[in-house]
Structures are given as C-alpha cells and as structure tokens.
Chains A and B, each alone.
Chain A
Amino acid sequence: MAETDILVLEDEMLIALDIEATLQDAGYESLKVCTSVAETEHYLQDHLPAVALLDINLGRDGTSFELGRTLLARGCPLLFMTGYTQSTVGLPDELSDARRIAKPFSAHELLEGVAGLLAKAPAAQ
C-alpha cells in the first residue's frame, strides 16, 4: 500500500489538501497532488501513477479529459471527481468506463473509489 502512487489533480488547493489529508489519514502515503495541467504533465514525464483522481473543471486549464486520455492510454485507471452530473457534463465516450464521484464527497466515498481503482490497477497486482 505504501508503495502505491496516487496522483491527485485538483486546481483548488484547499480541496486538494482535504483530499490529500483524507488519503493520508487512510494510510496512503505515496501521493502526488497537482493543481494544474502543466504541473501534472511535468510530473508524468518521469512518473506513472498507479491510479489518478482527476477534477474535471480545472478553471483556466479547461478540463482534465485530455490528461485522462493520456493516463488511460498508459494503463492508469481514472477516477473523476466533479461537481457536474452526467446530464450537464458527461464523460467523453472513450473515458466513459472511468469511475466518477460527486463533489462534495465524504471520506468514505473517496476511499471506496480509490480502493476500487487500485483493485484494477496493474501496479497493485
């Protein structure tokens, strides 16, 4: 568990810190929290996380869908964290298999999502 890399992309730092703290409290230690697409891309040059938790609306950076495609192509399972519902902003077809949880989420919802994701992540095998 400690070796597992979890990438969190959330542009609002306070929310990102909450997610980070929730995961740390649950025992996940190998975390990478990014708040912008550029920062994430930079990180991904040398790293491949086991799973990725992505906020959809990144403000000025647009959405995380393109990053999601990249991560998915590299075998990284995705969890989208979003305030949107499927009827307002749906996932693109190629990402429709990804999990999604609604903001604001409880610690339980987040941890269950992450556990489910790790279960199918190659690095967790």
Chain B
Amino acid sequence: MDEDLKSSRDELQAINADLRAQNRQLRRANSDLETLLESADMAVLVLDRAFRVRTFTPAAAALCGLETGDVGRPIFDLPARIDHSDLRADAEAAGATRRPVDREVRLDGTGEMVLMRIKSHRTAEGGQDGYVISFLDIPPRARTETVPERSYPDLDRHYAELEALYDTAPVGLSLMDRDLKWTRINQRLADINGIPIKAHIGKTFHQLLPDLAEDLDATYREILRTGEPSLENSIETTFPNAPETVRNFSADFYPIHLDGEVQAVAACVTEVTEQKRLLGELSESERRMKRIFDAAPMFIAIFEGPDHVCGYANPATRRAVGNRALKGLPVREALPALRDQGIFQCFDAAYRTGTRQVVPEFRFAFDRNGDGRTLEGWFSQVLEPVRDGAGEVIGVISFAYEITDQVEARRAAQESAATKTFLLAELQHRVKNTLATVRAISRFLVPGAATATAFHDRLSARLGAMSRTHDLLTDANWMATNLADIVAAEATSYERGRDRRVIVRGEAIPLTSKQALAFGMAVHELMINAAKYGALAGDDGHIEIDLAARRSDAPARMVWREIGGPPVGGAPDRKGFGSVVIERVLVSDVNADISICYEPGGLRFEATF
C-alpha cells in the first residue's frame, strides 16, 4: 500500500514538473508572441469560433477602438469603428477555403481605408478554433487612388468633392474590382437596381442582376482584357420590383488603370426610359403623319431652307406633276411653270416672315401625265411655315388642292347669270321700246281722229298690225323674218274667197326685227290706203307685189302696184299717219329709198334697201 502510494506520488510529481515546464514554455511563447506583435506594431485581432474577442494587439485596439475589458465579448456587440457587416461571411469563406480573405474596409472617423485580412485559425487537431484578423495598410499604389494621404490636404478636399459628386450625381455610378464584384455604388444606381448600397458590395452581376449578368460580364471582361472603355451601351431591362415596366438605360463603362493595369471597371448609367418613350412616340407620330400625308387626296410637300428645297412630296403631289423629280430641288427649279403666278414670292414670304400665306386661286399649266401634253388646272394653296424646336422657321409646308371643277362651275354659273341678265335686259328693252312705239303711234293718230271712238279704232288697227309682226318675229326667234310673210299677214283680212286680191311674187327677203317692225307698219298703212282709196276699195282691183332679194350688184327691192282700182287723182292733200310711217319710219328704220307714184292705173310704191 505504501509502495503504491509512493509510486503514485512520484508519478504525480513528475507530471507536475512537466506541467510546470510546459507552463513556463507556454508563458515564454506567449510573451514572445506578444513581444513580437507589439514590436512589429501589427494590428491583429484574434476571435474565437463564436466571434468573441480573444486577444488583440495595441495597434488593433487603437484601430478598432477595443479595450481590455472587451475580451470575451462578441465582436458584433461592440461599437464598431469598422464596417464588419461581411465579416461572418468572409470568415466562413476563409474557414471553408482555408485561404485568407481580403476586404477593404473604411475606418469610421478618419475615413481611412485599410485591408482587413481574415484567416481561419485551427486547433492542433485541425478543428475550427477561431479567426485571426490582421489589418494591413492598403498598398500605396491602391491608396493613391482611393485613400487621401493626410499629408496632402488638397487631395483630401478633392476626394471629398469626388465623394460628394459620387453621391449626388444625377447619374448612376459604380465601381467593380477585377473579380467583377461591386466595391462601390452610388445611391442613384443602387436605387435603379432596387437594392441597397451595402447589399451590392462584394456581390456579382449574377448574384444581383441575373438577367443582365451575361451581357455585362462579357462587356466588363472585354474591358479588363483590352483596357478600352465601352460607351453608350443601350440596356433595356425589367427589375424584379416592377417586372412589367421595361426601362431603358444608357451606360458607359470605363477601365480604371493603375500602374498600367486595369484594376477596376467604373460604370456611369443614365436612365433614358422617358427619352426612349418620347423618341418612340415621336417616331410613331412621324410615321402616322407620313401615312396621313401619303394617303391625303390633297397635294402636300415640305420645303426646307431659304431656297425651299423639296424634302418631301406626297404621292398625290408626285402624280400631279407627272412624277417628275421634286425631292432635293429648290421649288423654283422643280416647278418653273409656277413662275409669274406670285407663288414663289409667297414661299419667300412664308419663310421670311413666319406667317401663313394663302393663295386662294392660281392657274397652273404643266405636263401632268408625263406624255408631253400640257394640262391646265386651277389650284388653291396654303403655305405654312415649319419651325424647329427653338421656334426658328426652317422650312415651308405646302398644302394645295385642285379647284378646277369649282372654278369652271363658278364660271359657268357666272356666264349663266350673265346670260340671264342679258336676256332680261333684252326683254326689257323690247317691251319698253314697244310701249314707247305705242305712245308715238297714239300721238300721230290723234290728228286724224275726230272722236275718241275713232281714235280707239285707229289705234286698235295699228296695234293689231304690230302684234302680227311680233308673232312673226317670235316664230322666227326674233331673227330673220320674211317680207312675204309680213305682207301675207297684213293681206289676210282683205282676201275674199278663192280669188287672191294681193298677189305676192318673187324671192324671199329676210328682214331684221327692226326692219320687220317698220315694214309691218308700212304695209299695214299701204293696205288701209288701198282699201280706202285704191285697188281694194272696189271689188275688181288687186295688188301685185314683186320681191327681189339683195344681190351683190343690186339692193333688195319691193314693188307694190295697185291695179283695177278707182281712178287716182294724184297725191292726197293731207299727210297722215301713213305717210309718217312710210316716208319717215320705213326710210329711217330700214334705211330704204322709196318712191311713191300716183299713176293713172293705180298707186305704185317701190322700196329698195
């Protein structure tokens, strides 16, 4: 028993001695490590598996704001001077890959950027024990780009300005590293993507913008490969937060060169959805307008510049000008037939003054069918100035339509109205002259009438003669009547049965209406005279009338001979209405030469005209 106990004590003492030795070694090692870390002024932070603070160097304490009492507390519970939002993910990545993970982090307060390197720490048995985080200065070449040196206040200020610009620029801006992971993105672009700024950092296109990833990756890789920017990329896409809304962007991608190498790719993104929509509408509106113009039955053409160079002519216009070339030609060259119509001056005025010019009616004769025949037409035209966005007149649009039918219809109507007025005037003239003639007849009948009844009888007889002549004139359309017809009309009331007492021989002598009226009255007076005193006074006499038409060497002639009447005792003493009609009216109105002979066998009257 004593021996067992003694051996046990010995063994225990040996173990204790070992343990003491190991403890000494461990203390020395710890001391050496601390000395090493402190002397190297390295910022190192050691976390256990649950991210509790295990130890840290003074440099790390200064950097991260740690105090001695923080040991054992989870790093996430401590007021962070560094952004460690990705720490857990990075640490797990480092543990899984057994490779250190580097991340650039910004120190709060100073804005300084440092490289945070996370390494997995393992137990001797190979299990996950914790993480060693070391903070390294960013290599000088990178820092010149992203970190202002404290010793350069200007650069600092510039950087601040750049930051402000980045945050407030009305365009989307982002930066991706060589691994095509976001390192920076401004609010504008983050909003466009519909993802918070922080959620972008370290992520790839495939992770956040899967729809665009393939194209953008290809573009970015090309930039990384060639070092050349890719400008004005049109991007049309939808976003998960509004899958129905198609949005358009214009993006420029630039390589960021450092020491001759492309270290990152910057993106500058502008949303052009509205512009694209407006352009689309404009272009649709133009197409619609052109369709309307093309189908319009009127002539539409657009002319540009002070010389009115034709830029567009609708099919109606092209057909109207016989498909001759218009486009590209100044209007004066294209349509020289319009010269002298004042049209070109209207083009000039519309362009110069910017006011609409209206040409209500102009004549235009040109080869319309291209077959060499010139056709005349009447047109109406409106010239409207065309303005650019700034309101400057840049051209003239011409709207014209053919009014040939209307002009002709109006002319016909005018002619018809003129004809009507003419006919009314003619009718008025005849009626009024007839009445004036009746007035004159009455005057000259008064001296031969002893009583009112006698006057009435005398007047009635003359009106009857006038009326008969009017009937003949009307039958002949008031053109040429025949002297024989007038004589026959006046003779009718003196004929007795089958024996003709008035014998008319010879040729037809055409008379004008004025001549007819004068002869009508004159023959009537001759008949009355014959019935009263001449061949028709008794039962046996008769009158022979010979008519000869006008010839080139002789005037027309009427010879009136009374045969078989009572003996004629010479010319009557009193000159009554009959002699007025024959000696004055017939002579004047027919322009006739007359002779009246009171021969023993009977009266002989002759008129040549």
The residues of A with any CB-CB pair to B shorter than 8 Å are: 11-18, 21-22, 35, 57, 59-60, 82-85, 88-89, 102-105
B542 to chain A, nearest CB (A): 30
- Whether A13 and B584, one on each chain, are in contact in the complex, defined by CB atoms closer than 8 angstroms, is yes
Whether A83 touches B431, Cβ cut-off 8 Å, given contacts A15-B437, A18-B436, is yes
B417 to chain A, nearest CB (A): 12
- Whether A102 and B589, one on each chain, are in contact in the complex, defined by CB atoms closer than 8 angstroms, is no
Whether A103 touches B432, Cβ cut-off 8 Å, given contacts A13-B584, A17-B580, A88-B425, is yes
A94 to chain B, nearest CB (A): 20
For B16, list chain A residues within 8 Å (CB): none
Q: Judge whether B283 is part of the interface by a CB distance below 8 angstroms.
A: no
For B428, list chain A residues within 8 Å (CB): 83-85, 88
A106 to chain B, nearest CB (A): 9
A interface SS class: mixed
For A89, list chain B residues within 8 Å (CB): 425
For B444, list chain A residues within 8 Å (CB): 14, 17-18, 21
Write the chain A residue with the least CB distance to B424: A88
A87 to B587, CA, bound (A): 34
- Whether B421 and A14, one on each chain, are in contact in the complex, defined by CB atoms closer than 8 angstroms, is no
Write the chain A residue with the least CB distance to B439: A104
For B421, list chain A residues within 8 Å (CB): 88
B504 to chain A, nearest CB (A): 25
B419 to chain A, nearest CB (A): 13
A60 to B514, CA, bound (A): 10
- Whether B443 and A12, one on each chain, are in contact in the complex, defined by CB atoms closer than 8 angstroms, is no
A12 to B430, CA, bound (A): 12
- Whether B443 and A104, one on each chain, are in contact in the complex, defined by CB atoms closer than 8 angstroms, is no
- Whether B436 and A104, one on each chain, are in contact in the complex, defined by CB atoms closer than 8 angstroms, is yes
B interface SS class: helix
- Whether A17 and B584, one on each chain, are in contact in the complex, defined by CB atoms closer than 8 angstroms, is yes
A68 to B587, CA, bound (A): 26
- Whether A83 and B433, one on each chain, are in contact in the complex, defined by CB atoms closer than 8 angstroms, is yes
- Whether B443 and A21, one on each chain, are in contact in the complex, defined by CB atoms closer than 8 angstroms, is yes
Write the chain A residue with the least CB distance to B586: A13
For B437, list chain A residues within 8 Å (CB): 12, 14-15
Can you list 18 pairs linking A and B with CB atoms under 8 Å apart? A12-B433, A13-B584, A14-B444, A14-B580, A14-B585, A15-B433, A15-B436, A18-B439, A18-B440, A21-B443, A21-B444, A22-B443, A57-B433, A82-B429, A83-B428, A83-B432, A83-B436, A84-B432
Q: Judge whether B581 is part of the interface by a CB distance below 8 angstroms.
A: yes
**What 0/1 readout, one digit per residue, does chain B (520-538) give for beta carbons within 8 Å of chain A?**
0100000000000000000
A71 to B580, CA, bound (A): 30
- Whether A14 and B429, one on each chain, are in contact in the complex, defined by CB atoms closer than 8 angstroms, is no
A14 to B581, CA, bound (A): 8
A17 to B518, CA, bound (A): 14
Query: Among A13, A17, A105, which residue has the most Cβ atoms of chain B within 10 A?
Result: A13
A105 to B444, CA, bound (A): 16
For A85, list chain B residues within 8 Å (CB): 428
Q: Judge whether B61 is part of the interface by a CB distance below 8 angstroms.
A: no
- Whether A57 and B440, one on each chain, are in contact in the complex, defined by CB atoms closer than 8 angstroms, is no
Closest 5 pairs (CB-CB, A-B): A83-B432, A18-B440, A13-B588, A88-B425, A104-B436
B463 to chain A, nearest CB (A): 13
Q: Judge whether B62 is part of the interface by a CB distance below 8 angstroms.
A: no
B432 to chain A, nearest CB (A): 3
For B518, list chain A residues within 8 Å (CB): 13
A33 to chain B, nearest CB (A): 10
Q: Which of B425, B429, B430, B435 contacts A104 (CB 8 A)?
A: B435
For A16, list chain B residues within 8 Å (CB): 588
Q: Which of A13, A59, A82 contacts B585 (CB 8 A)?
A: A13
A18 to chain B, nearest CB (A): 4
Write the chain B residue with the least CB distance to A56: B429
